[in-house]
Amino acid sequence: MANLRFLRGYNDAVVLGLARSGAVTRVELAERSGLTPQAVSKVVGRLIADGLLVESGTRNVGVGKPRTLLKLVADSRLALGAQVERDELRVVLTDLAGTVLDRAVAPLPRGFDPPAFVAELTRLVDRLRSDRLIGVGIGFVGPLDHRTGVVHDPNGLTGWHDVPLRSWAEERLGLPVVLDKDTNTAMVAEAWRRGEELRDAVLVLVGTGLGIGMLLDGRVHRGARTNAGEYGHTTLQLDGPTCVCGRTGCVEALHNLAAARGDLVEATSVVGVAVADLVQLLDIDHVVLAGRAVLAEPAAYLDGVRARLPKDEWLPVDVSITPLGDDVVAAGAAMLVLSEFYGRPR
For residue 251, state whether it binds Zn ion (rule: CB under 5 A). no
3-class secondary structure, 234: coil
Least distance to Zn ion, CB of residue 227, Å: 14
Residue 94: strand pairing partners? 79, 100
For residue 255, state whether it binds Zn ion (rule: CB under 5 A). no
Task: Encode 28-54: b = buried (16+ Cβ within 10 Å), e = exposed.
Answer: bbbeebebeeeebeebbebbeeeebbe
Q: Which is nearer to Zn ion, 219 or 247 (CB)?
A: 247
Map the footprint of Zn ion across residues 281-310, applying CB under 5 A: none
Least distance to Zn ion, CB of residue 87, Å: 19
DSSP-derived secondary structure letter, 235: B
Least distance to Zn ion, CB of residue 160, Å: 17
Q: Which is nearer to Zn ion, 35 or 257 (CB)?
A: 257
Least distance to Zn ion, CB of residue 249, Å: 8
3-class secondary structure, 314: coil
Kindly tell me which residue out of 250, 254, 274, 333 binds Zn ion, with binding defined by CB under 5 A: 250
For residue 212, state whether it binds Zn ion (rule: CB under 5 A). no
- H or E element, residue 100: strand 100-107
Minimal CA–CA distance to 144: which of 166, 122, 175, 125? 166
Question: Using CB under 5 A, which of the segments 25-33, 69-77, 175-183, 241-249 binds Zn ion?
Answer: 241-249
For residue 48, state whether it binds Zn ion (rule: CB under 5 A). no
DSSP calls for 286-304:
EEEEESHHHHHSHHHHHHH
Question: Using CB under 5 A, which of the segments 52-60, 186-194, 236-244, 336-344 binds Zn ion?
Answer: 236-244
Binding site for Zn ion (CB under 5 A): 233, 243, 245, 247, 250
